[in-house]
Every structure is written in structure tokens, then in C-alpha cells.
Structure 1
Amino acid sequence: MPDLPLRWRTATVAGTQWAATFTLLDDDGTHMNISGKTFEFVIRPTAADATVPPLVKVTATATAQGYLTVDTVAATVQVVLTPAATTLLGTGCRPFALWMDPGQPDQTCLVEGPFYSRLVIVA
């Protein structure tokens, strides 16, 4: 993928499910070979925060916060956050990152940017 990490911004309503699918391409525009790769999507309170665990973290193993679905043929990673995960965000803006091979020597941040969330007040 050229010019990594890709900068992208997104938004959600706190307490709702959120999902996005990322297609991973090589410099020549062909599908990236992601066989054997692991992925992680995290949201942190601030860019400088390195607390473990982060505020929100999802991997291919489903948890109460969500899960990732990796399609090696289509070279896609779908991120799904549950309402429980987005509730933690409240109203504000926090940094997120999609990592490939997190914690490994060749870890790569594929996508990063601001994750905006807001509360909806029902009258």
C-alpha cells in the first residue's frame, strides 16, 4: 500500500453498531497478499496514550467490543464495533488505527485518523 498509513476519518453515534470495510491494495493496485497476517483495530483516548488495553480494541476473535473479518481472497478487513464499544466513546473525537501484524517487528499501521462520536438524546 502506498503512502502508509492512509488517513481517514469516520463518525458514529455512541451506543450504536459501527462497521467499515477496508480493501488492501499493493502499489500497483492489485490485491495485497494478506494470507497469514493478523490485524487489530484500536481507538485510544489520545494520540499519546499507550495504555494497555486501549479504550477499544478488536481483532479476529469476537469480544463484547466487536470483531474483524479478514477475507484473504478479496484482501479486505471488515471492522465491526458493537454498541458496547461505541458507548465507551461518548461524545468527542479520539484517534483510531488499523494495524497489520501488531506487536511484530514488521507491524504496519494501515489506516489512522480521527474517530468522531456523539450522543443522541431522545426526547
Structure 2
Amino acid sequence: MPDLPLRWRTATVAGTQWAATFTLLDDDGTTMDIGGKTFEFVIRPDSADATAPPLVKLTATATVQGYLTVDTVTATVQAVLSPTATLTLGTGCRPFALWMDPGLPGQTCLVEGPFYSRLVPTA
């Protein structure tokens, strides 16, 4: 993927499910070989925060916060945040990142940017 990390912004309504699918391509436009790779999607309170665990953390193992689905044939990673996870975000903007091989020597931030969330008044 050229010029990593890719900058992308997204938004959700707190308390709803959110999902996005990222297609991973090599510099020549072909699908990236992601066999044997691990992925992590995180949302932190601010860009300087490096505490563990982050505010939201998704891996291929489903939790109350959501999960990642990795398809090695199509080289896609889908991130799904549960309504519980988006509700904890409330109203505001926080940084997110999609990591490949997090915590390993060759870890790579693939996508990063602002994650906006807002509350919707009830009727």
C-alpha cells in the first residue's frame, strides 16, 4: 500500500453498530498477501495516549466491543464495532488506527484518522 498510513475519517451515532471494510493493495494495485498476518483496530482517547488497553480494541476474536473479519483471498479486513462500543464513545472525535502485525517488529499502521461519534436525542 503506497504512502502508509492512509488517512481516512469516519463517523457514527453512539449506540449503533458501525462497520467498515478495508481492501489492502500492494503498490502495483494487486491484492496484498495477508496470509499469516494479524490485525488490530483501535480507538484511543487522544493521539498522545499509548495506555493499554485502548478505549476500543478489535481483533479477530469477537468481544463485547466487536470484531475484525479478515479475508485472505480478497485481502480485506472488516471492522465491526458493537452498539456497546460506540455508546462508550459518546459525543466527540478520537483517533483510530488499523494495524497489521501489531506488537511485532514489522508492525504497520495501514489506516488512521479521526473517528467522530455523536449522540442522538431520544423522542
TM-score bin, normalised by smaller chain: over 0.9
What is residue 97 of structure 1 aligned with on the other side?
97
Structure 2: runs of 5+ lacking an equivalent: none
Structure 1 residue aligned with 2:20: 20
Unaligned stretches of 5+ residues in structure 1? none
Structural mapping, 1:28-39, within 5 Å: 28-39=28-39
Deviation at 1:56, TM superposition (A): 0.2
Secondary structure, in 3 states, of the residue corresponding to 1:88? helix
Q: Deviations over 1:22-76 (max 9, x none)?
A: 0000000000000000000000000000110000000000000000000000000
The equivalent residue for 1:51 is 51
Match in the other structure for 1:83: 83
What's the TM-score once normalised by structure 1's chain length?
0.99
TM-score by length of 2: 0.99
* Alpha-carbon distance in structure 2 between the residues aligned to 1:51 and 1:11: 23
Cα deviations across residues 95-122 of structure 1 (Å, max 9, x unaligned)?
A: 0000000000000000000000000111
Kindly, what percent of the aligned residue pairs are identical?
85
Q: Which residue of 2 aligns with 1:111?
A: 111
The residue type equivalent to 1:69 in the other structure is T
Runs (4+) of structure 1 moved beyond 2 Å?
none
| Alignment partners' CA distance in 2, 1:30 and 1:51 | 36
Q: How many Å separate the matches in 2 of 1:121 and 1:51? A: 32
When the two chains are superposed, the root-mean-square deviation of aligned CA atoms in Å is 0.3
